[in-house]
Amino acid sequence: MKFKFNNIIFKILVVLALSIVGVTLWYTNNLANKFKEEEKKKVALWAKATKILSNINDVNDDIGFVFEVVNNNTTVPVIQVNEDGEIIAHRNIKNATSDIALKEEIESMKRKYPPIEIELVDGKKEYIYYKDSKLLQNLKYFPVFMLSIIGAFMLIVYFAFSNARIAQQNKVWTGMAKETAHQIGTPLSSLMGWVAYLKENMQNQSITQEIEKDINRLSVIASRFSKIGSLPKLEYVNIIPILEGSIRYMKQRASSKILFELISKKNVINTKINKDLFEWVIENIIKNSIDAINEKGKVVITVKDDDKHIFIDIADNGRGVSKSFFHAIFEPGFTSKKRGWGLGLSLVKRIIKDYHQGRIDLIKSTPYQETLFRIVLKK
């Protein structure tokens, strides 16, 4: 229920963030367009004032307002040129160190806006080139800035929720595993006592031997569960005998019509593993293969290695897995069986990924031809 609640909150935050982005982009775009129009009007007014100044012949004319208009432009970059392209005046140009720099600036302005034409009384013409002010340019980048902040916020929220979810899952796994180990361990102690009693009082020891085997098996299962959630001890061992043992154990519990095969060019391939948990992984996957085979079939384990990795392929010719479920099969609760809990492959992935820093993937699945799981371990 808590997971679901957290997902709802996350979705609400995503919608809220996207809404903020949308409103910000709309508002900033409108504001930028208004600024652009105002600056265009300002340049037009500046051009008009420049024209008046150029056409004044009487020094007694009141030109104070005209000078004020010209001098008040402190933001919009403008360059005034004559018909021959000679620069007459300029304002608010940052790098106005030479005519070459100014001409480069004119070329840049040409690409942005067409020049404003001024017709003088003597028939000659002048042109005013301009571009967006620094303020307007910064305003255009404001949405990018806002998107970066919101993107960073969303990443932080995502990682926070993701880590919280993983932490909760770890807590559930640990609690469930330890409780299972405890619940199995309590009757096991009693059963061991009864087996010891039967050994002393029964003449047919073969029965007690079989019971003892099953009790020992339950002890192994309890031990495996107790290691989930704790830090298991890893040791360098040869995995070939472990794979052979797992095949032997599962073969005794499978139909005689199912063939088992282990293929490896080497008799010794060492890596650092926890033996109990690694056996659990192999047996879990083989059990899935057996369940997928209707009557007759085969399970083949192929082991290869290179300088850095060990590759363990487990293949069967059972009914297979739909491609749309390739990733879902490792999720807790996913199962295609009527009475399954959907925890087997989830445990397998957890053991390989979290405890052995390896990988497990369903590589391919063709019904009744080949379904292939691959485990990759570091050497």
First to last CA, the chain: 41
The CA dihedral of 237, 241, 246, 251, to the nearest 10 degrees, is 180
| Domain regions of the chain by residue span | 2-131, 138-218, 231-378
- What is the rounded distance in angstroms from the CA atom of residue 262 to the CA atom of residue 251? 12
Contact predicate 300/370, CB 8 Å = no
pLDDT attached to residue 150: 76
pLDDT at 123: 76
- The CA–CA distances, whole Å, from 215 to 180, 194, 224, 364 equal 16, 11, 14, 37
Instruction: List the one residue out of 173, 182, 219, 157 whose CA is nearest residue 354.
Output: 173
pLDDT given for residue 366 in this prediction: 93
**What's the Cα-to-Cα distance from 315 to each of 183, 239, 248, 293, 343, rounded to whole Å?**
34, 18, 16, 11, 20
Count of C-beta atoms within a 10 Å radius of residue 292: 21
CA of residue 14 relative to chain centroid, distance: 16
pLDDT score at 2: 46
Are 108 and 131 spatial neighbours (Cβ–Cβ below 8 Å)? yes
Query: Which segments in the chain show pLDDT lower than 70?
Result: 1-7, 10, 38-39, 42-74, 168-188, 190, 202-205, 207, 229-230, 333-334, 336-343
What's the pLDDT at 179? 58
Give 43's DSSP letter: H
**Partners of 360 in the beta sheet?**
375
Q: Which amino acid is residue 181, in one-letter code?
A: A
Question: What sign does the CA torsion over 104, 140, 47, 123 have?
Answer: positive
Amino acid at 27: Y
Pairing of strands 297-305, 258-264: parallel
- How many H helices and E strands in the chain? 8, 11
Predicted local distance difference test score (pLDDT) of residue 183: 61
Q: How many CB atoms lie within 10 A of CB 260?
A: 18
What are the angstrom distances between the C-alpha of 44 and each of 39, 102, 128, 232? 9, 20, 9, 78
pLDDT of residue 341: 56
Q: Where are the beta strands (DSSP E) in the chain?
A: 78-82, 87-91, 116-119, 125-130, 235-238, 258-264, 270-273, 297-305, 309-316, 359-366, 370-378
Q: How many whole angstroms separate alpha carbon 43 and alpha carbon 79?
A: 11
pLDDT value at residue 10 = 67
Q: DSSP letters along 273-314, please?
A: E-HHHHHHHHHHHHHHHHHH--SSEEEEEEEEE-SSEEEEEE
Question: Which pLDDT belongs to residue 187?
Answer: 65
pLDDT at 67: 45
pLDDT in tens, 113-141: 888 787 777 778 888 888 877 777 777 77
**CATH architecture, range 2-131:** 2-Layer Sandwich (3.30)
Q: How many CB atoms lie within 10 A of CB 41?
A: 10
Superfamily name and number for 231-378 = Histidine kinase-like ATPase, C-terminal domain (3.30.565.10)
CA 90/CA 79 separation, integer angstroms: 4
The predicted pLDDT at position 76 comes to 76
